[in-house]
A and B are shown apart, each in its own frame.
Chain A
Amino acid sequence: MSHAPAAIVGIGQTHHKKKRWDVSLGGLVREAARRALDDAQMDWGDIDAVVIGKAPDLFEGVMKPELYLTDALGAHGKPMFRVHTAGSVGGTTGIVASHLVETGRHRRVLAVGYQKQSEGNAQFALGSGKGASLGAGGAFAPFIRSYIQRSGAPLDVGPMVAVKDRQNALKNPYAHLRLEDISIESVKASPMMWDPLRFLESCPSSDGACAMVFTDQAGGEAAAADGRQPAWVLGSAMRSEPFGFPGRDPVLPQGARDCADDVYAQAGITRPREQIDCAELYVPFSWYEPMWLEAHHLAGPGEGWQLVESGATALDGSFPVNMSGGVLSSNPIGASGLLRFAEAALQVRGMAGEHQVDGAKVAVAQAYGASAQYFSMWVVGASLDPFG
């Protein structure tokens, strides 16, 4: 590895809601960015470059919004970069920003992801507004059914994930859904939307934004010396694979597995389940938790659901997953991936508040997009040499 380290020294997010009509697009991204800058003890002028990520522009009706948002993010006279890799885009945003620091291009980079789905009709944009629209749940449900049939998982596993993530969300002041009295029974009593997925096993549609400030090694060490724990990027990876062709397995996609292999190798991880303290995975539908645990080698083949069923992935379990409440509790699509990456960083910084995992030193985060074709992942640590 010939590149230099990158540290995360600032993290901010908005309160995620169904409709954030109290702010403009610019106001929304600034709310997250301002919190990240405050956390980093910086101001707009301290930032050298901005990377912005979001899913389709058709969701808000602003094309190439990096142009309009240049002013809102204090990017006048600076490089302003825009990525779009479907649902994985938030993760990609974090990775591109970290690369700018790791390669020495810039010293301080602001990464921002957002979506304001309430300003357009996302389902309309997804379905091109015609015919018997399936929605994202309908698209993923057959994959989930295959997972259940393959693994022999009991049907309660999905509802267990739904309950756990929503209970975690109650500890996260920024989360969108706050379902105080959710239970396995109430999930199973909720309407069947995309058989085998029920309403309460599905993500909401949210307005929200997330921002992160990256610095070089000197910046990270200075923050640490000042008593502000940074998170260090120990490895990051992206993979894409084509939509459909004979031989592709969309249940445990090769791209997801390759991404995990790559990121663990970079971080020096050989026994992921033991060496990683917690995971923040992109789980828009409950069953994706056991599926990703297997695809990312955090559980053996067919064993992901057992990890869930045992309670290991609960906040107080041996391998907590989605401490923030996850995508099941807040889903501003373009920000969702960056929120996962940010939560992993918050955990190793010890700044996750009520949803903090005690003693978390190494955390993994993941995001995926399109028809389970785009993957982004990273591992962050409380130090550059957590296994040393």
Chain B
Amino acid sequence: MTALTEERLIGIRSGDRVLCPPLEWDPETGAELAHDFVDVGPAGTVESWCWVAEPSEQHPLAHPFAFATVRLDGADTGLIHVVDAGRADAMSVGMRVAPRWRAERRGHLTDLEAFVPGEDPVSGGGAGAGEPVEMMGYNASIAYTTPVPDNVVRSEAAAAEGRFLGLQCPICGRTYTGGRGYCPVDSIALTAEHEIDLPQKGVATSFTIVTPVQYPGQTETEPFARVHVLLEGTDVVLSYQALVDTPNEDIRTGMRLAPVWASAAEMEDGAGDTREAGLIGWIPTGEPDATDPDLVNRLC
């Protein structure tokens, strides 16, 4: 990579062959390679190519180009890179190409901007890195569009109205929330016909208080609680629930809780975006704590 900043292409000796690109070890045997680098090219011969009429955002050129396997002079293997040839009919197996270098080089494969037809390399000017390149970063971005299952849509719509929707398995009677589409015990699909409304009273069965670490994506700055809440009179436990207006030191197993739903105005503001639909969190009701010792076992 350091050689790239100096507009040089290098290969590595492996037995009586020269591998370009210079891999870290022999790809056929796994054997260590002595770091015996040799200059190759600068020109080479196209062994295979394909034409990219519509480049992706990850491709190094924004206009149509060719990917090609280029056997550089002095190398015994093909380097895969791009050829900026203008038109597909300018490409052929056996054609000669030479590198065109970028002006700003940072020890990255794309310091070699592209190969171009001909024998003569095109310098980008500027200087080499001056010191060895030890890291090479690259960014890739992939956007996913994932459909939301019907049950989840219905569950969130209910939450927006201040209701907990459960799905009760007709075989074992267990109840699931969050629009879960199946009973994992009986392996059957759960659909709208299995929906039931769940009570708006809960009891804390366990909890944690999280001191947020500020890694990327963390939105909290102060210690916050997450509570497992058993909906009274059901087998449903809602895990990792937020609390509202409750000092962390007051939280305890057995405390009775009521849900706090976003108002229509708060929903408009997107208050539900980072929480489960319209549920903002839970607030203690002040009723006497539940004392059932089995509560600590109710976590799922």
Please say whether the chains A and B touch (CB closer than 8 A).
Answer: yes
Interface residues of A (CB under 8 A from B): 21, 24, 26-27, 30, 44-45, 61, 71-77, 121, 123-124, 127-135, 137-139, 141-143, 145-146, 149-150, 191-197, 242-251
B41 to chain A, nearest CB (A): 23
Nearest 4 pairs between A and B by C-beta? A74-B30, A141-B208, A129-B217, A246-B235
- Find the A residue at minimum CB distance from B183: A245
CA distance A30 to B27 in the complex (A): 13
Q: Are B174 and A145 in contact (CB under 8 A)?
A: no
- Are B207 and A145 in touch, CB under 8 angstroms? yes
Q: Is the CB of A123 within 8 A of B215?
A: yes
7 A–B contacts from the bound complex (CB under 8 Å): A142-B207, A142-B228, A143-B206, A145-B208, A194-B208, A246-B236, A246-B237
Contact of B299 among A73, A142, A192, A195 (CB under 8 A): A142
CA gap between A143 and B296 in the complex, in Å: 9
- What residue in chain B is nearest A242 (Cβ atoms)? B184
Contact with A along B199-220 (1 / 0, CB 8 A): 0000001111111110111111
Q: How far is the CA of A95 from the CA of B145 in the complex (A)?
A: 36
* B217→A124 contact, CB < 8 A: yes
- Residues on the B chain within 8 Å of A133, using CB: 212, 215, 217-218
Residue of B nearest to A61 (CB): B140
- Chain A hits for B237, CB < 8 A: 244, 246
Q: Which residues of B contact A (CB under 8 A)?
A: 23-31, 134-135, 140, 174-176, 183-185, 205-213, 215-220, 224, 226, 228, 235-237, 239-240, 242, 253, 274, 296-297, 299-300
Known: A27-B24, A145-B208. A132 touches B218 (CB 8 A): yes
In the bound complex, residues from chain B placing their C-beta under 8 Å from that of A121 are 215-216
A150-B297, A249-B299 are known contacts. Are A44 and B210 too (CB-CB below 8 A)? no
Listed residue (A24, A77, A242, A246) with the most chain B CB atoms within 10 angstroms of its CB: A246
Nearest CB in chain A: distance from B235 CB, A = 4
B227 to chain A, nearest CB (A): 8
Q: Among the listed B23, B175, B224, which residue makes an inter-chain contact with A246, where contact means beta carbons less than 8 Å apart?
A: B175
- Cβ of A141 to closest chain B Cβ, rounded Å: 3
Tell me the smallest distance from the CB of A33 to a CB of chain B, in Å: 9
Question: In angstroms, how far is the closest chain B Cβ from the Cβ of A149?
Answer: 4
Q: Are A134 and B30 in contact (CB under 8 A)?
A: no
Q: Are the CB atoms of B25 and A72 closer together than 8 Å? A: yes
Closest to B220 in A: A132
In the complex, how many angstroms separate the beta carbon of B190 from the nearest chain A beta carbon? 12
Contact among B205, B224, B253 with A132 in the assembled complex (CB-CB below 8 Å):
B224
Residues of B within 8 A of A150 (CB): 296-297
Q: When the two chains form their complex, are residues A245 and B297 in contact, meaning their CB atoms are under 8 A apart? A: no
Is B30 touching A193 in the complex (CB atoms < 8 A)? no
Residues of A within 8 A of B205 (CB): 146
A166 to chain B, nearest CB (A): 20
The closest CB in chain B to the CB of A77 belongs to B28
